[in-house]
Amino acid sequence: MIKAIAVDMDGTFLNTNKTYDEERFERIFKQLKARNIKLIAASGNQYAKLKSIFGERDMYFVAENGAVIYEGHNLYDYQAFDRDFYQQVIDYLNIEQGVNNLIICGLSSAYILKENTEAFKKDAHFYYRQLEEIDSLQDLPKDDYVKIAFNINRETHPTLDQDLKKHFNGKLETVSSGHDSIDIIIPGITKGQALKRLLNIWQLDAANLMAFGDANNDLDMLQLAKHSYVMENSEDEMLFEVANHVAPSNDNQGVLSVIETEVLNKSL
């Protein structure tokens, strides 16, 4: 029986315009709560961004690709990089590779350079509600750092994601949330790993979990869940091999449709 549902955001729960049918969702959410089915937003996004999407609803948030877990307003668990190692990665990208458009993801806030372009800043502010501009990437504010986010320019840095793994000898991992949008994460700290931690706490197993995703950073989440759904609009062929089912596209409210049909209208 389904006891927990994990949903990715961009390309999965949210439509192309980054919105969702709030009235329909509210009806579904109330029914899930009545049946004691836990809802988890599992995303590469910042916790503050996820809260801005769902408001004050009593649900769980797996943010920053699994590094941060919240229950409502309460910090449930988090995993941070070693500070010295994190700075080494920043210096490699910024100084050795000349990459300035980095989003430095801390537990308290995200950070970007003041010198970044207005277009980059606008984009960063959309995805990171708690965001500060700083003077230098070599003098980071005091924080616990959980992720680095950036877009790879394949013309100037065609193999940067591979170069990172080789240079740091497996001490970091890269995942994609779509196209050349790359997140640098702690090895083993993923959406799927975060969901495993929650299932253990709740004394549930993979047979009780339904999950929806569309991109590379959803892979181990879909591998974990017995009731796994890749979105019809996904461009990641691997997910179609891993997932047990295909959900209608995000623009056709695929997540809500499956929950209504397969969870609320029948017993699994």
The tokens for 156 are 């100037």
Marked catalytic residue, from 8, 218, 220, 236: 8
DSSP 8-state symbol, 208? G
Measured CA to CA, the distance from residue 122 to residue 126 in angstroms comes to 6
Query: Which amino acid, 212?
Result: F
Q: Of 207, 243, 238, 204, which Cα lies nearest the Cα of 222?
A: 243
> Whose structure tokens read 């910024």?
94
| Terminal C-alpha separation, the chain | 5
Active site residue 8: yes
For 198, phi then psi, to 5°, come to -70, -45
Measured CA to CA, the distance from residue 153 to residue 173 in angstroms comes to 18
Neighbours of 204 (CB within 10 A): 17
For 17, phi then psi, to 5°, come to -85, 10
The H or E element spanning position 7 is strand 4-7
- Which of the residues are catalytic? 8
